[in-house]
Structure 1
Amino acid sequence: MTAMTSFTDKHNRTYKTYRQKTQVTCGPACCLIMWANVYHADPIADEGGVIALSQAYPKPWNHSTGAEINNLSGVLRSMAVPNQVETFASTGDLRSALHRRVHFGKPALAFAEWEVDATVVGHFVVVGYADARADEWTILDPMNGSQETTGIPAYYPVTDDADPPVLRFTGAVVFAL
């Protein structure tokens, strides 16, 4: 069983969250976070189990590139989390869809990118709360910890890094159904 930690946001919603084990396991970690917040329980699976499930789908997780969003959607279906992948070309459409479709027990897995030494790096996070009108978002980030933020599609995680990354959501999202 994967032991999850709890995070309560300013809206008094408590989420289950988890810290990824390696630099490239954000996707599998987010699958565990998604399952835990859909079923409100600690998952029996661990990152290794999620990685093993990913091998059954096209573009499986690997040590050098990590995960791919459509692969993670298949993994989530295998984990009994009904879901739908959507891609939004505009910031307004992304914010609106998150606002309409993310609810307590119905999180979304989202893909973001940032630049490191002129190289684009991808990262998965889970959106647990989305209010586009108030510009308030709860991000369950397996690398940087759970955060409450504004300004989506840009996400500025609070970290101990001297030069923290600025992540930009790409518009690729897996919605729990």
Structure 2
Amino acid sequence: MTSMTTYTDRHRRTYRTYKQKTQVTCGPACCLIMWANVHQADPIADEGGVIALSRAFPKPWNPHTGAEINNLSAVLRNMAVPNEVATYTDRGALRAELDRRVAFRKPALAFAEWEVDAAVVGHFVVVGFANARADEWTILDPLHGPQEVTGIPAYYPITDDPEPPVLRFTGAVAFTL
């Protein structure tokens, strides 16, 4: 069983979250976070189990490039988390759909990117709460920890780094059904 930690945001919403084990396991970690918040329990699986399951579907997780959202969507469906992938090129549409579709026990898996040493690096996070009108978002980030942010589609995680990254959501999202 994967032991999750709980996080309560300033609006008294409580989430289960998890810290990824390696630099490239954000996708599998997010699958565990998604499952835990949909089912309100700690998952029996661990990152290794999610990675093994990923191999049953096209474009599986690998240690060099990480995960791909359609693969993780198939993994989540197999883990009893029904979902659908959508891609938004318009930031207003992305914000509106996150606002409309993210709710208690219905988190969304979202893909973001940032630039590191002139290379683009991808990163998965879970959106646990979305309020576009108030510009309030709760991000369950397996690398940086839970974050309450504004300004989506850009995301500025609070870290100990002297130059924290600026993540930009690509518009690729797996919504829980």
Global fold match (TM > 0.5): yes
Is residue 2:61 matched to residue 1:61? yes
Q: Report the CA distance between 1:18 and its aligned residue.
A: 0.0
Q: Partner letter of residue 84 of structure 1?
A: E
1:83 offset after TM fit, Å?
0.3
Q: Which amino acid aligns with 1:170?
A: T
Structure 1 residue ranges, 4+ long, deviating more than 6 angstroms after superposition: none
Query: Aligned residue for 1:73?
Result: 73
Report the secondary structure of 1:146's partner residue: strand
Question: Unaligned 5+ residue runs, structure 1?
Answer: none
Partner residue of 2:39? 39
The whole-number CA distance in structure 2 between the counterparts of 1:158 and 1:41 is 27
Partner of 1:112: 112
Q: Deviations over 1:62-95 (max 9, x none)?
A: 0000000000000000100000000001000000
Q: RMSD of the TM alignment (CA)?
A: 0.3
SS in 2 for 1:143: coil
Alignment coverage as a number of residue pairs: 177
Q: Which residue in 1 is equivalent to 2:133?
A: 133
Q: TM-score, normalised by structure 2?
A: 1.00
- Identity percentage over the alignment? 78
Measured after TM superposition, the shift of residue 11 of structure 1 is 1.1
Counterpart check, 1:154 vs 2:154: yes
Q: In the TM superposition, what whole-angstrom CA distance separates every residue of 1:41-76 from its partner, at most 9, and x where no partner exists?
A: 000000000000000000000000000000000000
